[in-house]
Amino acid sequence: MSDPRIGLSIESQVARITLRRPEKLNAIDEDMIDALLKACRAIERSDARVAILAGEGGKSFCAGGDIDAWSSLDADTFSRRWLRDGHDAFGAMARLTVPLIAVLNGHALGGGLELAACADLRIAEAHVKIGQPEPGLGIIPGWSGTQRAARRFGTGLVRRMALFGEVYAAQEALAAGLVDQVVATGEGSAAAEMAAARVLKRSPRATELTKMLINAAEGEESERVVEALAGAVAAASGDLAEGLAAYRQKRTPRFDR
C-alpha cells in the first residue's frame, strides 16, 4: 500500500486490512483515508471473497479522525476534502462486494464507530467501549455517523450516543445491537477467521448479489445495485453477443426474443 499504516494482505481468498498506527490509537489522517480507498479497490480487483478489518494493538480498533490532522484545517478544506474524502473511503468499505468483518480488538469511538458501521459483521473483544464523542468536541459525526450508523443501528441508539454521550461496553453493545458477537480479549482475530471460513463455504456469486440487495434495502447503493444487476442480465443474454457481432461485421443486428 502507499501508506504503510494501512496494511493489506490477500491470501486464500481472504483479504485482511489492518490499521497500523497503535501509537496514535489507530487514528486516521488524510493519507490513511487515501490508502483505505486504494485497499478497497485492490480487494475488488482480487480473488478475495471475504475481508477482515482490524486495528493493530489492543487499546483501540480506531480512535476516529486524527484530531491533529483535521483541527488545523480551515472550514472550507475541512468540508471539501476531509469530510468528502472520508465519505468516499468509508463508502467504498461499506460497498465492498465481499462480506466485511470488523474485529473490534480495541475501543471504537467516533470515526472508529463509523468505520465499524461499514462492516457486515462486528466482533467485539470483551474490553472494548463504543461511542460517538464528536459533539463534545464541538464537531459532528461527519463520516456517516448520523446516516449509515442510524440505518444500521437505529436512530434511537445513535441519538443516545451522539446527543447524550452514552458509551457502551462490549456486552452492552451486543445487547443494543451495535455488535454481533463478543469474545474474550485477544480472541477477536480467531473468531473473524472462523466467520470468514463460513463465508468461503457459500456461493461467491450468490453471496455478492445478496450483499448488494441488502445494501439496496438499506439505501446504501440503490442506483448501483439496480444498474449492476440489470447490466449483468443484459451481458449474459444472446442480445449482447449478437449486437457486438453485428457491430464488428458492420451489419444490422438480428435480435430474437
For residue 47, the number of C-alpha atoms closer than 13 Å in the C-beta half-sphere is: 4
182: β partners: 124
With cell 487514528, the residue in question is 27
Residue span(s) of the chain under CATH 3.90.226.10 come to: 6-200
Do the beta carbons of residue 119 and residue 102 sit within 8 Å? yes
Domain over 6-200 is classified CATH 3.90.226.10: yes
pLDDT one-digit tens code per residue, 190-240: 999 999 999 999 999 999 999 999 998 888 776 667 777 777 777 777 887
Residue 235 or residue 58, greater confidence: 58
Tell me which of 17-21, 50-54, 152-156, 231-235 is least confident. 231-235
Q: Is 125 exposed, middle or buried (0-12, 13-18, 19+ CB in 10 A)?
A: buried
pLDDT digits (tens, 9 = 90+) for 104-146: 999 999 999 999 999 999 999 999 999 999 898 888 888 888 9
CA pair distance 207, 219, nearest whole angstrom = 18
* Diameter over CA atoms, the chain: 68
At 223 the pLDDT is 65
Q: Burial of 44 by CB count in 10 Å (0-12 exposed, 13-18 middle, 19+ buried)? A: middle
State the catalytic residues: 114, 134
